[in-house]
A = this chain, B = another copy of it.
Amino acid sequence: MASRDVYGAVEGGGTKFVCMIGTSPTDVVDEVTIPTTGPAETIGEVIEFLQRPRPGIRLVAIGVATFGPIDLDPTSSTYGCVLKTTKEEWSGARILAPIARRLGVPVGWDTDVNGAVLGEARWGAAQGIDPVLYLTVGTGIGGGALVNGATIHGLLHPEMGHIAVPAVPGDSFPGICTFHGRCLEGIASGPALAARCGRPVPEIPPDDPVWDLEARYLAHGIRSLILTLSPRRVVLSGGVMRQAHLLPRVRRALVEVLNGYIDLPELKDRIDEYVVLSKLDQKAGLYGALVLAERASPRTG
């Protein structure tokens, strides 16, 4: 019997690496979750999973979407490595090279949030749409964008969580970003919200006025991202957005802070179709890694 061509997908996160073998969210041959420890051990386990003999299956390409910052420049000597990060053991860790060498197939590579936007644009909340902005609001705030058919690889990759937001009048909370204090992540991430309220995010009641403040800061950030990238859809995800009452507040605040400047229904009456929640949720990066594998594959690339 001829073997079937499949992809390997790896989503690397700060606490776990999720790996799968398959071709789409509805064709999953195998899947595993590996705890994130040190790079040698974790990447070793990822390779072991990908190498496992599976009769009737041929792995033709792999995609990796991982936490960063990472080096995406193929001409760089540190291409495929994690750059300097607060997760010290991972600073400089080689991820792409060992996987490519041991598996002997092409490996596509991007950030977790760039992977997520590819996943959402293929199977999730922004199917067939371009440009798309994906923003996750959780332990940190991270953004990915699909623009002109691909994610953005430039000097580095987008680090949208660290854009500036104006202070809401009367709010003196200094923010928690060690680099920028009150940048978007410093003022509106889960840990920022918890620090402001003195308790974990899930324990903040839905009627606490802090949620309107949170929505206002997120709206300020999203406004700047919309005015820069002009996305046709904004996809939100992450632990903080799981508070069901937050999305409607963010939409209302966004319409307010845009203040009618862009005269389009998507930013007024149709805001509910324009700013949406992720459909793939925690699988967005993993399925995005599948898209990266597909794009790296010599058959489709």
This chain: copies in complex: 2
Nearest Cβ on chain B to A226's Cβ, whole angstroms: 7
Binary flags per residue of A169-190, CB closer than 8 Å to B gives 1, else 0? 0000000000110100000000
Shortest distance between the CB of A71 and any CB in chain B (Å)? 10
Contact indicator A264/B232 (Cβ below 8 Å):
no
A84 contacts partner chain B, Cβ-Cβ < 8 Å: yes
Whether A223 pairs with B158 at a CB distance below 8 angstroms is: no
Contact B148 A262 (CB under 8 A): no
The contact string, 1 if C-beta is below 8 Å from chain B, for chain A 233-276, is 00000000000000000000000011111111011000000100
Considering the complex, which residues of chain A in the window 130-188 have a beta carbon less than 8 Å from any beta carbon of chain B? 131, 143, 145, 147-150, 152-160, 162-167, 179-180, 182
Q: Let me know if A297 is at the binding interface, CB within 8 A.
A: no
Structural contact, A229 and B230, CB atoms closer than 8 A: no
- Return the chain B residue nearest A267 by Cβ: B155
The residue among A148, A166, A228 with the most chain B CB atoms within 10 A of its own CB is A228
Nearest chain B residue, comparing its CB with the CB of A262? B156
Q: Are B179 and A166 in contact (CB under 8 A)?
A: no
Instruction: Report the Cα distance A224→B227, complex, angstroms.
Output: 11
| Interface flag for A83 (CB, 8 Å) | yes
The 8 Å CB contact of A152, one of B158, B182, B230, B264, is: B230
List residues of chain B with CB within 8 A of the CB of A228: 143, 145, 158, 160, 163, 224-225, 228-229
